[in-house]
Chain A
Amino acid sequence: MKTLSPAKKWNKYFTAGLVMTGAAVFLGLLGLFWTPYSTTAMSAAERFAAPSWRHLFGTDNFGRDIFSRVMQGMGTTIVISTLVVLFSGAAGILLGALTGYFGGVLDEAVMRVTDAVNGFPSILLALVFISILGNGRQNLILSLGIVFVPSYVRIVRGEYLRLRDADYIKRARLMGVGRFRILFVHILPNILPVFGVSVMIGLNNAILAESGMSYLGIGVQAPDASLGNMLSDAQGYLQAAPWYALAPGMVIVWIVLGFSLFSEGIRRRVE
């Protein structure tokens, strides 16, 4: 029998991750509806204002408040990444469950396709999908989602392979429980701890990927703010206004570090 000691249940990774992630998610989601300043209002008088109490992170080349834009950008990034992970996670569970449990030709086919997808750098592949589907948020979510599916399929498939011959699953079959009920009611709850951790890690990757795509100008389009396109805008002013690039960059680091600590904390709790 496993009994968790309190120290393991509530570790420092988890606490630090929770605080960092919580702050980022709160500010980000708030930023989608309310920001201290308008994110698009320009002011020629206040171009490149250095950070101050009036403008926490300073202003950019159009005199827009960087803190407000970072808030909104954070929100956009978090929402898009969450949707990407939801899409790829759901597809991963479905495909992984079917291939892992039933095996056979379907398994071979799906696994070879995922091998092929894994063979390319994920950003490159997402670029290809975007260029086929066209620009826009939905297409960004869809193409990043597709790129992330294989990793989930592999994890879920492995777990199903491991559990499909467990004694309690054999017994469920003997009771006459239907196949799909076995797949999603009997087995699925048992893989959720493992799956949960990989979702957290996936969320991190999705945030980085979304930022990368937006940086390349293929993700979120101006004048909407996103952490990636802010970085790319700031590139020309590294000398004149270093805070312009520093703010979104630090925020990306903050979010990714927060999620990493959070998922590590969860992993330690689960094990």
Chain B
Amino acid sequence: MIRIEDLSVAFDGPEVVKNVSLEIRDGEILGVVGESGCGKSVTALTLMGLVAESARVTSGRIYFDDTLLLEAGRPRDKALYRRFQGDEMSMVFQEPMTSLNPTQRAGKQVDEVLRLHTRLDAAERRKKVLETFEAVGLKDAETVYASYPHQLSGGMRQRVMIAMAVILHPRLLVADEPTTALDVTVQNQIVSLLQKINRQQNNAMLFITHDLNLARRLCQRIAVMKDGCVVEQGETEQIFRHPEQDYTRRLLEAVPSRMKRRKSPYVPAEEQALSDPVVQVRDLSVYYQDGGNSLFGKKRRHCVVKDVNFEIYPGESLGLVGESGCGKTTLSRAVLGINRDIEGQVLHSTLRPQMIFQDPYSSLNPARTVGWQLQEPLRAQGATAVGGAMTRADMEAAACDMLRRVGMDERYFYRRPAQLSGGQRQRVSIAQALITHPGFIIADEPVSALDVTIQAQIMELMQRLRREMKLSFLFISHDINVVYQMCDRIMVMKEGRIIETGETEEIFDSPKEEYTKELLASARNNVQ
């Protein structure tokens, strides 16, 4: 149905998509997988005719059935595209918040699609929109119709987006990372929905994702992209069972999953129990104040975390899992002592716990060099040290040493964050957190923003450092599989409470709470 032949696209500089040839058959779901920057989104946007004006198609052509949509060296035919966009092909984007207009009611926005493409009158359109809302699993369709995007949850917004995309029954649906911004459980529902739509409407789908497990579940065929090229393409199971290319193999190996043997804890349990815990949390409740920003605003106090008890022993890694908004981050901030409005106790045996954040792009100061940032904790420590500060040379040596330990070298000492990749930045963040030998680290989704291969490297690095430096971790993540690989024990959090705690194996093999089972089920679904 769709034929992309030998497509190359370039912006200002070199080509970002190189000689890509893809074919999508009627009713088929084709997955395009690859790491960020591999050109998968640009390919899709070019297909849809939505790529930025500054992009140049340097070779190839795109056919829809027998219509030539795009050819290199010919200007984009906007009128032709307008005939296909919406009616024949439509797109679902990653970020449901920014893809909807925040000032218009959800129903109106979907209605507009019908108004532009059909001759139905207002009442018929409204009926059709409500029907579609129900079809995409929005239970209270009337309410959703009258809601503004900010009144809907992320999952509901994505459903509205999907409703908008499928309401005209297009023959091709392009979905660009449609579940990446969502929680695991919601992710699962959206994937099932896409599957259902595919079966019912029998339309073809181009599914773009960096998540291989997801692609495996959903797609009949898969194309693996790297640096703008399609390196491998074939039936899904064929690719997963017998990958032909090295790159595909590496990509598959990097995916954290239960299939892989977990390494045993680095510090034996008996030894852990003998020593005193590095952190003890007793009956901790954390409150959050609203409306404190304006001078006369009335302050309201919410309880975000309720009666939490746990301890972490030296060398132990404790996982904290739960959906977004369940209080994970608030709890971690309270443990660090940033959040002061608490009841209960937090006892530390180490001096200053440090933290590693999710977003590698905002956790380093863009104005300072790597070396400067690595020395800053030492300078800060020196300012309060009793025995006098370290000398300049000592600090520089310590920074270089730490840089090597996280797998980088002195060449990076004078670089600024803008000159580093995401993985390298996360390494520097880790180095910065560890340079004062804190003993206890809170890692808040430290690998969630990274590509799978980088993710695997960073996890490996954290495990190695944990062993070398006898570190304890509080490891926060929504990704059960990551937690499974990283942690000795797991706490499950729901709505501000810890509902279940136990050894990793125990939680995975015999979860007690319904919620834990649900969480595990959606994670397993992703695997197989």
**Residue numbers in A under 8 Å from B169 (CB-CB):** none
Q: What is the bound-complex CA distance between A20 and B154, given in angstroms?
A: 53
Q: Which residue of A lies closest to B421 (CB)?
A: A1
Interface string of B358-381 (1 = CB under 8 A from A): 010011111110000000110111
A108, A166, A175 interface centre (most CB from chain B within 10 Å): A175
Q: Which residue of A lies closest to B372 (CB)?
A: A185
Known contacts A167-B357, A168-B363; decide if A174 and B352 are in contact (CB<8 Å): yes
Q: What is the bound-complex CA distance between A9 and B357, given in angstroms?
A: 33
CB distance from B76 to the nearest CB of A (A): 23
CB atoms of B338 and A170 under 8 A apart: yes
CB atoms of B367 and A173 under 8 A apart: no
Q: Which residue of A lies closest to B363 (CB)?
A: A167
Interface residues of B in 359-413 (CB under 8 A from A): 359, 362-368, 376-377, 379-381, 383-384
CB atoms of A174 and B365 under 8 A apart: no
Which among A105, A171, A189 is the interface contact of B357 at CB below 8 angstroms? Answer: A171
**Residue numbers in B under 8 Å from A177 (CB-CB):** 376, 379-380
Interface string of A151-184 (1 = CB under 8 A from B): 0000000000000001111111111111001000
Which among B352, B365, B418 is the interface contact of A168 at CB below 8 angstroms? Answer: B365
CB atoms of A189 and B367 under 8 A apart: yes
Interface string of B423-462 (1 = CB under 8 A from A): 0000001001100100000000000000000000000000
CB distance from B20 to the nearest CB of A (A): 23
Known contacts A1-B419, A178-B380; decide if A166 and B354 are in contact (CB<8 Å): no
**Residue numbers in A under 8 Å from B384 (CB-CB):** 176
Q: Which residue of B lies closest to A112 (CB)?
A: B295
Q: Which residue of B lies closest to A178 (CB)?
A: B383
**Residue numbers in A under 8 Å from B338 (CB-CB):** 170, 173-174
Q: How many residues of A contact B (CB 8 A)?
A: 24
CB atoms of B12 and A171 under 8 A apart: no
B136 at the interface (CB under 8 A from A): no
Interface string of B152-170 (1 = CB under 8 A from A): 0000000000000000000
Q: What is the bound-complex CA distance between A178 and B380, given in angstroms?
A: 7
CB distance from A70 to the nearest CB of B (A): 41
**Residue numbers in A under 8 Å from B366 (CB-CB):** 190
Which among A175, A181, A190 is the interface contact of B354 at CB below 8 angstroms? Answer: A175
**Residue numbers in B under 8 Å from A105 (CB-CB):** 295
CB distance from B36 to the nearest CB of A (A): 12
CB atoms of A176 and B380 under 8 A apart: yes
**Residue numbers in B under 8 Å from A166 (CB-CB):** 362
**Residue numbers in B under 8 Å from A47 (CB-CB):** none
B10 at the interface (CB under 8 A from A): no
Known contacts A168-B364, A189-B367; decide if A175 and B418 are in contact (CB<8 Å): no
Q: Which residue of A lies closest to B367 (CB)?
A: A189
**Residue numbers in B under 8 Å from A192 (CB-CB):** 367
A5 at the interface (CB under 8 A from B): yes
Interface string of B222-256 (1 = CB under 8 A from A): 00000000000000000000000000000000000
CB atoms of B367 and A190 under 8 A apart: yes
Interface string of B337-366 (1 = CB under 8 A from A): 010000000000000111101010011111
Which among A169, A171, A178, A181 is the interface contact of B355 at CB below 8 angstroms? Answer: A171
CB atoms of B362 and A167 under 8 A apart: yes
**Residue numbers in B under 8 Å from A171 (CB-CB):** 354-355, 357, 363, 429, 432-433
CB distance from A163 to the nearest CB of B (A): 9
CB atoms of A174 and B355 under 8 A apart: yes
**Residue numbers in A under 8 Å from B295 (CB-CB):** 105, 108
CB atoms of B418 and A2 under 8 A apart: yes
**Residue numbers in B under 8 Å from A172 (CB-CB):** 365, 376, 380
A186 at the interface (CB under 8 A from B): yes
CB atoms of B362 and A168 under 8 A apart: yes
Q: Which residue of B lies closest to A191 (CB)?
A: B367
Q: What is the bound-complex CA distance between A173 and B12, given in angstroms?
A: 40
Q: What is the bound-complex CA distance between A166 and B363, given in angstroms?
A: 7
Q: What is the bound-complex CA distance between A230 and B338, given in angstroms?
A: 60
CB distance from A223 to the nearest CB of B (A): 48
Q: What is the bound-complex CA distance between A172 and B374, given in angstroms?
A: 11
CB atoms of B355 and A170 under 8 A apart: yes
CB distance from B476 to the nearest CB of A (A): 14
Which among A108, A167, A174, A178 is the interface contact of B336 at CB below 8 angstroms? Answer: A174
Q: What is the bound-complex CA distance between A105 and B294, given in angstroms?
A: 10
**Residue numbers in A under 8 Å from B379 (CB-CB):** 177
Q: Which residue of A lies closest to B436 (CB)?
A: A175
**Residue numbers in B under 8 Å from A170 (CB-CB):** 338, 355, 357
CB atoms of A189 and B368 under 8 A apart: yes
Q: What is the bound-complex CA distance between A177 and B354, given in angstroms?
A: 13
Interface string of A219-262 (1 = CB under 8 A from B): 00000000000000000000000000000000000000000000
Interface string of A2-18 (1 = CB under 8 A from B): 10010000000000000
Q: What is the bound-complex CA distance between A177 and B383, given in angstroms?
A: 9
CB distance from A21 to the nearest CB of B (A): 26
Interface residues of B in 248-289 (CB under 8 A from A): none
Q: What is the bound-complex CA distance between A168 and B418, given in angstroms?
A: 14
Q: What is the bound-complex CA distance between A105 and B296, given in angstroms?
A: 11
CB distance from A184 to the nearest CB of B (A): 12
Known contacts A108-B295, A167-B357, A167-B359; decide if A175 and B376 are in contact (CB<8 Å): yes
CB distance from A105 to the nearest CB of B (A): 8
Q: What is the bound-complex CA distance between A177 and B384, given in angstroms?
A: 10
Q: What is the bound-complex CA distance between A16 and B404, given in angstroms?
A: 47
Q: What is the bound-complex CA distance between A213 and B104, given in angstroms?
A: 50
CB distance from B355 to the nearest CB of A (A): 6
CB distance from B498 to the nearest CB of A (A): 24
CB atoms of B367 and A175 under 8 A apart: no
Q: What is the bound-complex CA distance between A106 and B367, given in angstroms?
A: 28
CB atoms of B357 and A175 under 8 A apart: no
Q: What is the bound-complex CA distance between A178 and B353, given in angstroms?
A: 17
Q: What is the bound-complex CA distance between A181 and B381, given in angstroms?
A: 13
Residues of A at under 8 Å CB distance from B? 1-2, 5, 103, 105, 108, 166-178, 181, 186, 189-190, 192
Extra pairs beyond A167-B357, A176-B377, A189-B365 (19, CB < 8 Å) = A1-B418, A1-B419, A5-B12, A108-B295, A166-B362, A167-B362, A168-B364, A168-B365, A174-B353, A174-B354, A175-B354, A175-B380, A175-B381, A176-B352, A176-B384, A177-B380, A186-B368, A190-B366, A190-B367
Closest 5 CB pairs of A and B: A189-B367, A167-B363, A175-B377, A167-B357, A177-B380
> Can you spell out 12 A-B residue pairs with CB atoms less than 8 angstroms apart?
A103-B293, A167-B363, A170-B355, A171-B354, A174-B336, A175-B352, A175-B377, A176-B352, A176-B381, A178-B383, A186-B365, A189-B367
Residues of B at under 8 Å CB distance from A? 12, 293, 295, 336, 338, 352-355, 357, 359, 362-368, 376-377, 379-381, 383-384, 418-419, 429, 432-433, 436
